[in-house]
A and B are shown apart, each in its own frame.
Chain A
């Protein structure tokens, strides 16, 4: 009996052995065929020299090149190494959005001695919690526009067009902005029902192609402007002169992202690149610009300003002088200064990398010029460009900005992982893609919560910094509250590095 069992077991083991040998030989044969195919395929193709010269093994190069991106991001990049945003910046935004503990321990990982680093001046007697006040209301266009815009929101959503962003992303932003009580800029892609959905305040951006407010000839249509202005939610109008990603070039929406609904809202054919002109054809001088601002304000009854990146700066003097010549009623109600280091959109790399001034030069320049001409009270300054962490926002406030807007900060709140594919319709997080499979991951309800958390935690932490500096609310910060590390590694007061500008004598009366 036992013997018989042993025999059966033996024969079973033998047949398994035989079978696996056969399988092994079979798989080996297939493997040889595959290698043979790879070899011939590499030799026959003409596109990649490496594969042609080193068939089969050459493929590893392309494989590692592709994988390297992930390896670098996950394993090898230090906390403060990556660009555009390093991990320390991003993780603050993520934690703020998720409303989880934002404290870190065992000291700063920031070097604190690199030229340009900012530090804020803590006060011996910080503002006590009971003395602190929330950011105060500010009115834009009061006394000049029929419906001025009054808001206490400090940190708002910068312009990202519908089209660049997906439907769920716009919905999440709209709902989140409403919850946090901040405004949302439409970007140049026109106003969609999704912007209105949440009920937040909206700043309508008039791009160079005038999507949403263009007539048949592609010029500004009063009728359509009026129609947009009838939405109570639409609070202000912003004429876009240029944007940080590509100063001197109009908006670019790659053809793959122009789907049916985008084409309807923009009025362009499906699938063709949407390329805005690089400037407004009717605005060729500062007087034209003021004319257009006056016209938009008259037609809509709402405050109107413009957005630009600053490069050459002679025009600022011309503009201020023109305002004084024509009267304060013709002034823009606000100016949005965009930094030159790019934003969400598709842009030629050389414009992205090299064109225009960064915010740390252009923001003080604009503040000083307005002070010099006594226009600082008339014209509010909105500052935008890579300001995603509280320290950066506080820096801009010290420098003199009235409002801060951020696009990419809110994209982090939406779940952006900085995959740098905004222009390809392959965004893995569903924010900048119209592929429904990828959009599926983005739940508008959940992300709206994150958007609002991010905005609220930002204002809270900006308040904390302001109180440490001994002021009662963030907008009381000025240039004496910060120091900047110079080339010797020593902090120098910001007010020495950027001295406050004196108002010229002849304009002092006007400034009251």
Chain B
């Protein structure tokens, strides 16, 4: 691809994002929803304008995976407060491991047996499960802040979402490897693959974070520290994913946490510019994700696959509820049990958003069932944006104070 074309695409996407912001401001709609609308508008106007943007489902994959995902994860990891995270580590850890695996399995089982079609094999069901087990609470966190919910609840939700994104992405990557190779390795080799991809990513991330900390201290200026950290976000992901073939998302996440911890003491000298940088980068990339979803979404999808979509919505909600309940049950006798009210908030507030879209957009079109999965995931994302996102407020208001 030639440079002017790429620049044109970026500008086009960004302008749609801005349009989304305008819609959000004027119509007082949720930001992500407005960007989705802007994307849809963009998709309809394109043919009339006679422009070919070159944006196809087939070439979106690498864009979202190598450009958008690292920033989203890095930014989320950067904002986590270590002290609060430590308090809720056990529930978060359980939700992000057992919870994700359980959600994925339940969604797979639910959708496989309800759809019961030979065009939708087990691997497709599992992929759907992995994609839908990542939660994205951007909208919910905004509501939490408006409603003055306790910091503990916000940390629990944010922390859970960050870590379940990570596990879900790793799970997705491994499942995708299985789906694309199709040469039935042993179960053992998949487990080893999962573990090495997972921990390999963490090691790469920690070392990258350490090097970035050294570099920012050496350069000793705010602007260079900002450059180093933005570079770290993309670099750690790229090195891990593309060069070493371990989990890029774990790398980006652990790089963010390591760098933040190591530079903690120099926050006032080096890091005061980085907050705003993540703010705008994170926001821009979230906007872009929803714009992309708007661009590729087609109404045909809902007409063709309405049953699959309904099944996916039911499976996603049910699986989330069950796994939150089971995990909370096991925290029951720990220091910090998760109360029933908070379980409801976790379930209903567990929106599917940017990460789910990123993952589904990165499905290779060579897979025969990609269209079904995409429709299902888009359906669930739309449902959670429109229904869950808009009604999460009252639920949070009612149960936020319920702490065991």
Contacts and interface: CB of A to CB of B under 8 A. Distances in A.
B210 A37 contact: yes
A34 B210 contact: yes
Interface string B195-218: 000000000000100110110011
Nearest to A46: B269
B50 to A, nearest CB: 54
A44 interface: yes
Contacts, number: 34
A40 interface: yes
Interface string A420-436: 00000000000000001
B214 A36 contact: yes
Interface residues of B, number: 15
Contact of B217 (A44, A47, A437): A44
Contact of A44 (B210, B211, B269): B269
A186 B210 CA distance: 53
Grouping DSSP codes into helix (H, G, I), strand (E, B) and loop, the A interface class, with mixed when no group exceeds half, is helix
B266 interface: yes
Interface string B100-142: 0000000000000000000000000000000000000000000
A33 B207 contact: yes
A108 interface: no
A45 interface: yes
Grouping DSSP codes into helix (H, G, I), strand (E, B) and loop, the B interface class, with mixed when no group exceeds half, is helix
Nearest to B219: A40
Contacts of B336: 436
B49 interface: no
B257 to A, nearest CB: 15
Given A30-B207, A33-B214, A41 B335 contact: no
B265 A45 contact: yes
Contact of A37 (B87, B213, B220, B269): B213
A436 B218 CA distance: 41
Interface band, chain A: 10 to 19
A33 B217 CA distance: 13
Given A30-B207, A33-B207, A40 B214 contact: yes
Contacts of A40: 214, 217-218
Contacts of B207: 30, 33
Contacts of A30: 207, 210
Interface string A39-68: 011011101000000000000000000000
29 contacts: A30-B207, A30-B210, A33-B207, A33-B210, A33-B214, A34-B210, A36-B214, A37-B210, A37-B213, A37-B214, A37-B262, A40-B214, A40-B217, A40-B218, A41-B213, A41-B217, A41-B262, A41-B266, A43-B217, A44-B217, A44-B220, A44-B266, A44-B269, A45-B266, A47-B265, A436-B335, A436-B336, A437-B87, A440-B335
Given A33-B210, A41-B265, 8 more contacts: A30-B207, A36-B214, A37-B210, A37-B262, A40-B218, A41-B213, A436-B335, A436-B336
Interface of B: 87, 207, 210-211, 213-214, 217-218, 220, 262, 265-266, 269, 335-336
